[in-house]
A = this chain, B = another copy of it.
Amino acid sequence: MTVSRGPGDKTGGDSLHGLVEERLRQAAQRYTSGRRALVDLLAQAGHPLSIEDIAEQAPRMPRSSAYRHLVDLQQAGVVRRVAANDGYFRFELAEDITEHHHHLVCTYCGQVLDVTPTPAFEQAMNSYLASLTGSSGFVSDDHRLDVLGACATCNRARSARRDQALPRATPQPAGRP
């Protein structure tokens, strides 16, 4: 049985753990069972995980340890921290371990999905980024594209109702009491 490790699943077999171990060694860190559990979670999720997601799927891991592991894995270049629209961080494997991808953010249920861009689009993206370097003196070395909308599930729920209104989960601020 093969397990999907994210979009594209670049690293076949178990080279993933070897690669992670090597990067940790570079940072004088050990690849312990807690860290391995986290990497497995992130690899099998295929989309960025919140600390809540992690706590659900690894109930025995203390939150302080999870946070610290994530920091260490970031510093080793294994994990990337992404700021979602709701102000909470999500965590995913670094793109050079999985593959460059974008995010579909459902503004109703808050779920974040990975999607791999078409080569044509990335080409347009690159020429656009090149044009930015010239005009403003800004030198880009990465980009992040989030597509906001309704996922398939929430879409069905919405069209099932007469009124187009569904409770939104993500961008709505707190409001007045």
Contacts and interface: CB of A to CB of B under 8 A. Distances in A.
Interface of A: 68, 70-72, 74-75, 81, 83-87, 89, 104, 106, 113, 115, 117-118, 120-121, 124-125, 127-129, 131-132, 136-152, 155, 171, 173-176
A52 to B, nearest CB: 16
Contacts of A144: 85, 145-146, 148
Given A71-B175, A83-B85, A84-B83, A132 B147 contact: yes
Q: Report whether over half of chain A's contact residues are helix, strand or loop; otherwise say mixed.
A: mixed
A104 B173 contact: no
A96 B142 CA distance: 27
Contacts of A174: 71
